[in-house]
């Protein structure tokens, strides 16, 4: 149920954002997510879609997930490279195993599309 509480957290954050911006609706929320974040994204989206039904503000809110690639940096030759999985990454340039993961664990709100009073005529 970890994903459910994360979804609740997102809903709270969106409510705050709406308040700060005097928005009466949130149409879209973009999430940047990487496999290494440990979040099971399908459950998260499912939970969010369930919770949003209870919130007037979010009823029509669409959630869009942008997947962040897993990127490593070689500490020997400084090459940055993408890799689909995260088992024994090896530098494609110099074959070094001395690599550091620099991307792929994101789990953040990237962008939110709000609907404010002013915009509606
Ligand atoms: Zn290298």
- The band of 1, judged by pLDDT with boundaries at 50, 70 and 90, is low
8 Å CB contact between 106 and 37: yes
- Cα of 100 vs centre of ligand 1, distance in Å, is 11
- The band of 6, judged by pLDDT with boundaries at 50, 70 and 90, is very high
Kindly list the structural domains of the chain, giving each domain's residue range(s) and its CATH number in brackets, ordered by start.
2-69+103-116 (3.30.2320.50)
8 Å CB contact between 94 and 77: yes
pLDDT in tens, 82-99: 988 778 899 999 999 999
- Cα of 7 vs centre of ligand 1, distance in Å, is 39
Distance CA 113, CA 76 (A): 42
């Amino acid at each position: 149920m970890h994903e459910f509480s994360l979804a609740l957290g997102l809903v709270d954050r969106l409510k705050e954002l709406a308040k700060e911006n005097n928005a009466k609706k949130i149409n879209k929320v973009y999430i940047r997510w990487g496999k290494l974040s440990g979040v099971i994204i399908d459950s998260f989206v499912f939970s969010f879609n369930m919770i949003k039904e209870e919130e007037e503000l979010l009823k029509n809110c669409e959630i869009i997930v942008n997947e962040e690639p897993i990127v490593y940096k070689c500490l020997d030759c400084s090459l940055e490279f993408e890799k689909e999985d995260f088992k024994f990454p090896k530098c494609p340039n110099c074959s070094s195993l001395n690599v550091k993961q620099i991307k792929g664990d994101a789990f953040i709100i990237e962008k939110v599309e709000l609907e404010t009073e002013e915009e509606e005529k």
